[in-house]
Structure 1
């Protein structure tokens, strides 16, 4: 363990770089995983930095050439040639320390490539397949930092990623529509008698709420499935996993309480609401420990 910690300390600046990206980009993600033991937390920051880099190339910079270059760098990394960059140097330490799955990293890039060449999904299955590539894959990436026996719980980890991505989609419907993207499947829109233009409305219709709740229930089912892995998660990592799950899941509850404002604004958790959720998580963890 001393030798392992030394590797991380030698690359402190690289991990600080990844930590700053995580903290600036996702408060909920950072809040959940920052309480892990140092090497586990730093490792997750390195993974997050990779994912954020890929995501920003598509969503912010619209840099397809940059995405191609990132895949090329990942191919080099997989072959043992570490690019001279803080993120890659940090990831090299992570791969030396944990039983990482490089295929999940390639899958994540495939998801970003789908976004770069976006087409609206036709079926729910297509939507959830997309959710795997951009987020279920991330669950597989961070799983080795959460569970020693992670090979036995890959499916629940995928379900967690899918649930979180569906949550992101449900909170960003209006914003995505304004950017020309509709992630809700065409078959679902037809089933609930909605035209795509309904996503540009200022107030949600009854049919829209029914569709939103349909997708929210699928997300909740995936959250419940994900939590079946909790007993296999290392005890030291259970609070972080439960916090991440609870914070994301709470977004759906808040959207419902606020009468579905997602067509015109992004739902978020107030500081007080986050505190309440984390207090509930602490109580749950304490009860699990006692029993």
Structure 2
């Protein structure tokens, strides 16, 4: 950690505080995990989250494609060194100065949000997974250079982890999304498992629906498993927070199973007592990862 890095983050402390309030308000699980990062790395994550939240809110909350276009124009100006004079951009400028972030991932994330403007249900599993990269795998790539000095070795794994979290979101929010006129489950898989749009509209928790849900959940769990193989290359001081964020999200799938796949009228969360048990598992996993890293070095 250099004196300049610390000084730059302190200089823009109020801007990072602004970003921190956004993640604390909108994502308690992510905040609980990433707030345990070293201070400058945590602040960097907050700034990136603020960007992602602004993009997401432009479509999902404000339903205003012009806001998304404005954000893309601001990103273009930012790329040219013309920093918009507001807290999020001032904070991001500091992050970009000190970490080798790839701005293309930011554009990719905006592309994912653009696809929600004129939403069409994915025809195939491949289309769903491509969409999941744009809205979430891209976020994994945004964060990766903050979390790992060896980030170039684990790009694909970071994508996998982000995509796993997005599929988890989709499986948790089926009811909310259907009410908004969006079905993210692919048409080919709905047909294969015998689930209709009417079934979703009428909140039918059939065995066919449970089998389809489990197919997608297992795909997500495979992506979690692949993504988490990157842990030995994550900086040691970032492993615990990243594991926590990943484990908390993955646990949502198990909570839904235990509640008989009720994703139409109930939003599932991982409660605090359960998170404490997960932290115990994380401590054991961290010891295992340390041993793996030592074996790689030798």
Considering only aligned residues, what root-mean-square deviation do their CA atoms show, in Å? 1.0
Q: What do residues 182-213 of structure 1 show as CA deviations (whole Å, max 9, x unaligned)?
A: 00010011001111111123451000000000
CA contact 2:231–2:289 (8 Å) conserved in 1: no
Mapped to 2, the partners of 1:32 and 1:115 lie a distance apart of 28
Matches within 5 A, 1:44-193: 44-193=45-194
Mapped to 1, the partners of 2:113 and 2:38 lie a distance apart of 30
2:268 match: secondary structure = coil
Is it true that 1:42 corresponds to 2:22 in the alignment?
no
Q: Which residue of 1 aligns with 2:282?
A: 281
The 10-residue stretch of structure 1 (116-125 or 268-277) with the greater mean CA deviation from structure 2:
268-277
**Structure 1, unaligned stretches of length 5 or more?**
none
Mapped to 2, the partners of 1:290 and 1:192 lie a distance apart of 43
Q: Which residue of 2 aligns with 1:195?
A: 196
Question: Shift of the alpha carbon at 1:94?
Answer: 0.2
Mapped to 1, the partners of 2:33 and 2:224 lie a distance apart of 16
Q: What do residues 204-237 of structure 1 show as CA deviations (whole Å, max 9, x unaligned)?
A: 1000000000000000000000011011111111
1:261 match: secondary structure = coil
The number of residue pairs the alignment matches comes to: 291
Give the TM-score of the pair, scaled to structure 2. 0.96
Q: Which residue of 1 aligns with 2:264?
A: 263
CA contact 2:16–2:43 (8 Å) conserved in 1: yes
Question: Shift of the alpha carbon at 1:289?
Answer: 3.7
The 10-residue stretch of structure 1 (188-197 or 279-288) with the greater mean CA deviation from structure 2:
279-288
Q: Which residue of 1 aligns with 2:12?
A: 11
Q: What do residues 7-34 of structure 1 show as CA deviations (whole Å, max 9, x unaligned)?
A: 0000000000000001111111111111
Mapped to 1, the partners of 2:291 and 2:70 lie a distance apart of 50
Question: Shift of the alpha carbon at 1:278?
Answer: 1.8
Question: Shift of the alpha carbon at 1:290?
Answer: 6.0
CA contact 2:232–2:290 (8 Å) conserved in 1: no
Give the TM-score of the pair, scaled to structure 1. 0.98
Mapped to 1, the partners of 2:54 and 2:266 lie a distance apart of 25
**Structure 2, unaligned stretches of length 5 or more?**
293-298
